[in-house]
């Protein structure tokens, strides 16, 4: 059974913007699925349609085999959603936000209170249970939204940039929590601008651009399509000019850092051999950006060129 | 209990808690406003007017003033709450949940009716300081208050559904609701008006609501009670199904 099937999904807004153009993708039960794309690519529209916050123009969506056109309430009972924008009732207490949300999902009040307590504790917000949402920091509001999305124990959790604007500590905490949740069986769809986040967490990825899916595969396969990676080598001592390494593109990032472009067919061993010959000792090496980020830029740039061409 | 019922009760509870939490904004102002009406129109001016339709003026206007506060507050409750939820976007809490549109409408409707009842109780208690309130048909009074509060809760919901900015929720109460209420026979019997204006007045639905209330309390009315009840029930059904239809279509809340 698929957790989500999206078929020929199109959306044209009243102002004429075609946000989605016959989009197709599937998410398997248990997947940690990344839906990536530049700003305005159609990610939020897709999530909006899946959660029934946006009306579709055409196409069909099934959540655990329940069609949203015919079994909307059942389909929605499987979902939990953390939207991109803060959409809390700022004058409600944190505990009430969760208890009410559970109530809207048909969970009896006594069970709702218990769940609210559990999720507030898991999100380190229990001390703030009687605070109004408006008194929380940005990171706390995000965590409260995650807790709210979980209160109905969704089988499919949709996270639209859940870590936008939160500090590193909170982001790491949320990563660990989401990983655990996924391991326990919850299917997760994540959109994020932090591609490192998607690379760390997700096992499948779809890239959407200008309303069309341009890549949809496992994370391993997608990363395997990366034609070129840029590494940063930290060296012992300093140099003024980038060393010349046959068949590799090099540049100097700083007197102690060399950038080397490595294509898919090249290994990295030759780099070290050549640098050794030049008496340059490498202390450490890292990717300049996340691999997914490089691929993302490569794919979206290629597409921009195609569309302009 | 059925999941839809639980979700509806959760929404009613939320809306009721809201009314009670901000009681200084929801219950005190109508009390103060109506006290002023009783003092100015009832005590000061009313003394010079004497009787209206065979009743002391203060006693005559009391049911209309109760109805006026019910109309204003039930409307204001739903238009404010729903529009605020739209602007802050926490309406999405309901829209992503499995609640049906009918449950959402009934939840807000109940919130508006409950505020209407609270306000009716507050204003009735205030009225007792100025006049005797011997209710002739208590059950009918209750039905008229609940149904009228329902009609205006639904009207408030429709206003909030279409509203895009705060101005949009202020226009209807100021330019439509207030004039219709004042011209709806709260302070006078339409039989005092020239024939032409009497006929015009009969197109004002609030006239039927105010007079239904007056009939249930005093036993006198400018209209037949059956016409009043048909008007109230007719509007209630029309607005209820329109609201559900609009929410189903996503008008004003989706896209």
pLDDT of residue B104: 96
Q: Does B97 touch chain A (CB under 8 A)?
A: yes
Tell which of A200, A223, A246 closes a domain. A223
Residues A194 and A287 in one domain: no
Whether B12 is covered by a domain: the verdict is yes
Chain A contacts of B93, Cβ < 8 Å?
87, 89, 100-101, 104, 148
Same domain for A299 and A193: no
Total domains in chain A come to 2
Residue B90 lies in a domain: yes
A25/chain B closest Cα distance in angstroms: 21
A270/A213 same-domain check: no
**In this structure, are A24 and A155 located in the same domain?**
yes
Please write the tens of the pLDDT for every residue from A214-257: 889 998 888 777 677 788 899 998 898 888 888 888 989 899 99
Count of structural domains within chain B: 1
The answer to whether the CB atoms of B255 and A14 lie below 8 A apart is yes
| Cβ contact, residue pair A105, B3, below 8 Å | yes
Q: Which of A193, A223, A253 is the last residue of a domain?
A: A223
In a domain, B240, yes or no: yes
Residue A216 and residue A273 in one domain: no
Mean pLDDT of A15-29: 94
Q: Which of A120-124, B1-5, B211-215 shows the lowest per-residue confidence on average (mean pLDDT)?
A: B1-5
Residue A212's pLDDT is 92
pLDDT tens-digit profile of B238-253? 999 999 999 999 998 8
Say what the pTM is.
0.85
Q: Which residues form the domain of A108?
A: 2-223
Q: Do A110 and A255 sit in the same domain of this protein?
A: no
Q: Is residue B254 part of a domain?
A: no
Which residues on B lie below 8 Å from A105 (Cβ)?
A: 3, 7, 97-98
Q: Are residues A298 and A207 in the same domain?
A: no
> In this structure, is residue B227 part of a structural domain?
yes
Tell whether B255 is covered by a domain. Answer: no
**Looking at residue A304, what is its pLDDT?**
67
Note the pLDDT of residue A308: 64
Quick one: closest CA in A to B103, which residue? A104
Domain containing B155 equals 3-249
Same domain, A168 and A104: yes
pLDDT at A194 over 90: no
Considering the domain architecture, whether residues A303 and A157 belong to the same structural domain is answered as no
| Residue from the list B1, B6, B96 with its beta carbon closest to the beta carbon of A79 | B96
Q: What is the pLDDT of residues B104-121, one digit of tens each?
A: 999 999 999 999 999 999
Q: Same domain for A147 and A114?
A: yes
Q: Is the ipTM of this complex over 0.90?
A: no
CATH code of A154's domain:
3.40.50.300
pLDDT surpasses 90 at A172:
no
Residue ending a domain, among A206, A223, A240, is A223
From the CA of A93, how many Å to the nearest CA of chain B?
Answer: 12
If asked whether residues A209 and A117 sit together in one domain, one would say: yes
Average pLDDT over all residues of chain A: 90
Is the CB of A106 less than 8 angstroms away from the CB of B94? no
Across the A/B interface, how many CB contacts are shorter than 8 Å? 87
Contact with chain A for residue B99, Cβ under 8 A: yes
Percent residues over pLDDT 70 in chain B:
100
- Dump the DSSP string for chain A: -EEEEEEEEEEE-TTS-EEEEEEEEEEETT-EEEEE-STTSSHHHHHHHHTTSS--SEEEEEETTEETTT-HHHHHHTEEEE-SS----TTSBHHHHHHHHHHHTT--HHHHHHHHHHHHHHTT-GGGTTSBGGGS-HHHHHHHHHHHHHTT--SEEEEESTTTT--HHHHHHHHHHHHHHHHTT-EEEEE-S-HHHHHHH-SEEEEEETTEEEEEEEHHHHHHT--EEEEEEEESS--SSPPP-TTSEEEEEETTEEEEEEETT--SHHHHHHHHHTT--EEEEEESS-HHHHHHHHHHHHHHHHHH-
């Amino acid at each position: 059974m698929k957790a989500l099937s999206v078929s020929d999904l199109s959306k044209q807004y009243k102002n004429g913007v075609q946000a989605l153009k016959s989009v197709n993708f599937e998410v398997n039960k248990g997947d940690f699925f990344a839906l990536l794309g530049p700003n305005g690519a159609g990610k939020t529209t897709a999530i909006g349609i899946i959660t029934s916050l946006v009306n579709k123009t055409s196409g069909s969506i099934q959540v655990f085999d329940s069609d949203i056109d015919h079994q909307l309430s059942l389909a929605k009972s499987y979902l939990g959603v953390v939207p991109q924008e803060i959409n809390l009732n700022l004058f409600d207490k944190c505990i009430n936000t969760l208890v009410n949300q559970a109530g809207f999902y048909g969970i009896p009040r006594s069970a709702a209170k218990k769940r609210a307590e559990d999720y507030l504790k898991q999100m380190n917000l229990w001390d703030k249970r009687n605070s109004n949402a408006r008194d929380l920091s940005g990171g706390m509001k995000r965590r409260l939204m995650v807790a709210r999305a979980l209160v109905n124990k969704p089988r499919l959790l949709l996270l639209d940039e859940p870590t936008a604007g939160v500090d590193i500590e909170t982001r790491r905490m949320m990563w660990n929590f989401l990983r655990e949740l996924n391991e326990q069986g919850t299917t997760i769809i994540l959109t994020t601008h932090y591609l490192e986040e998607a690379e760390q967490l997700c096992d499948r990825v779809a890239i959407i651009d200008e309303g069309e899916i341009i890549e949809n595969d496992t994370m391993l396969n997608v990363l395997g399509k990366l034609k070129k990676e840029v590494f940063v080598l930290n060296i012992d001592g300093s140099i003024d000019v980038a060393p010349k390494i046959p068949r590799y593109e090099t540049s100097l990032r700083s007197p102690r850092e060399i950038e080397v472009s490595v294509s898919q067919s090249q290994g990295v061993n030759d780099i070290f051999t050549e640098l050794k010959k030049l008496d340059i000792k490498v202390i450490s090496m890292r990717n300049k950006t996340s691999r997914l980020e490089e691929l993302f830029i490569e794919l979206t740039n290629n597409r921009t060129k195609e569309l302009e061409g | 209990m059925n999941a839809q019922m639980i979700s509806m009760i959760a929404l009613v509870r939320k809306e009721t808690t809201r009314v009670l939490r901000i009681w200084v904004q929801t219950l005190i102002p109508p009390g103060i406003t109506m006290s002023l009406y009783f003092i100015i129109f009832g005590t000061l001016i009313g003394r010079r007017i004497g009787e209206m339709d065979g009743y002391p003026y203060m006693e005559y206007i009391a049911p209309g003033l109760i109805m006026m506060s019910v109309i204003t507050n039930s409307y204001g409750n739903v238009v404010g709450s729903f529009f605020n939820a739209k602007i802050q976007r926490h309406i999405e809490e309901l829209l992503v949940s499995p609640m049906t549109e009918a449950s959402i409408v009934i939840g807000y409707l109940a919130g508006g009716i409950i505020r209407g009842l609270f306000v009716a109780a507050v204003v009735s208690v205030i009225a007792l300081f100025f006049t005797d309130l011997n209710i002739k048909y208590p059950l009918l009074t209750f039905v008229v208050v609940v149904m009228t509060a329902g009609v205006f809760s639904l009207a408030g919901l429709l206003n909030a559904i279409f509203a895009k900015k705060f101005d949009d929720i202020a226009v209807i109460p100021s330019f439509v609701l207030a004039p219709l209420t004042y011209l709806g026979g709260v302070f006078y019997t339409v039989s005092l008006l020239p024939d032409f204006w009497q006929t015009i007045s009969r197109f004002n639905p609030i006239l039927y609501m105010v007079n239904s209330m007056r009939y249930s309390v005093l036993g006198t009315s400018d209209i037949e009670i059956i016409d009043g009840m048909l008007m109230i029930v007719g509007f209630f059904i029309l607005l209820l199904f329109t609201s559900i239809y609009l929410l189903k279509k996503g008008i004003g809340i989706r896209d």
